[in-house]
Structure 1
Amino acid sequence: MINTRNEIERRLSVLRGLELSGVNHAADMLTLSFGPLRQVINFKGAFKYVGVWALHVQCAWRLEEAGRAVATDDDLRGQDEKAHASTHRLQRVLLANGCATVEAVTADAAGGATLSLSRGFCLTVIPDGNADEEDWRFFASGVNAAHLVIKGGVIAPESFD
């Protein structure tokens, strides 16, 4: 039997010491890149930059600075203009004055994870617990390998393919 907390911490441990290199969104999904950026061609044939690792969050999340909420998943919901403005604000906060670095990773048995970042930031990912929906996924960008997928607060079977 897989220990959810241990498996998440083991997989996310590769982020320790890496800089957060990108903050974006796709609809209301938060997308984060970690490690040096490199140029790739997307499925439409356009160039884009990706980090070594990616975290895509579709469930509840909260970014705090020194214990105060800076942003939540609600900031990406609603009008496109609101989501774009929130993403730009997150980019300024986390990337503009020297990229935040991952200092520690913790997880819980409910499929949640917390990334403690430099400069007093902390990102907490909180699965919604809906068994039919993906909460979040973590993967190596541009590498054909299994993604760590959390669905309904548990590690999805495809995470071990």
Structure 2
Amino acid sequence: MLNVKSKLQTCLLYFYFLGGTLIIEFNNDEILFLEGETGVVGIIKVAYENKMLFIATQNNEEIVQFLEKDDLIAVSNFKKDKRAIRSQAYLTREENSPLVILNKEHPSTKRLETVLSVGDRVCLNCNITPGTHPEQDVLCSCDSLSGLEISKTETGIKLNQYFDKYTIEKF
């Protein structure tokens, strides 16, 4: 029923399939990978109190988003490159790297392979242009992950539906 492939997993994994939702628990030193057919989404916790995310918008403005330690950093990669996901998650959480939002017509949107969203809830969607959404509740993903809604819990995440293609690894 549960497809756990990671040999690096060091904690107990609890899951509950109740009322169409799935709860997956993991620690702050771990990363959860949701594995789609043509892409992967990696999720870590912010893990720090009083954290801020700086978002550079298309209008040359900067938005400051205040984060809670159990908020999510979700990173989507269209080439299934877990190393790229880990790198982007690290830069965001540990190095306070700002998030840059592009205009939908910007030529770089066609070359983006890794995009991210930070907050308490993320909806995966394959029908949006990568890197163009300043609101942090939507993230571009591959088709097979589109429609998943990821919400934070104190000790992990809650998915809006059952999903068994995931692993938990050391971050």
Normalising by the smaller structure, the TM-score range is under 0.3
Q: Which has the higher contact order (CA 8 A, sep 6+)?
A: 2
Q: TM-score, normalised by structure 1?
A: 0.27
Q: TM-score, normalised by structure 2?
A: 0.26
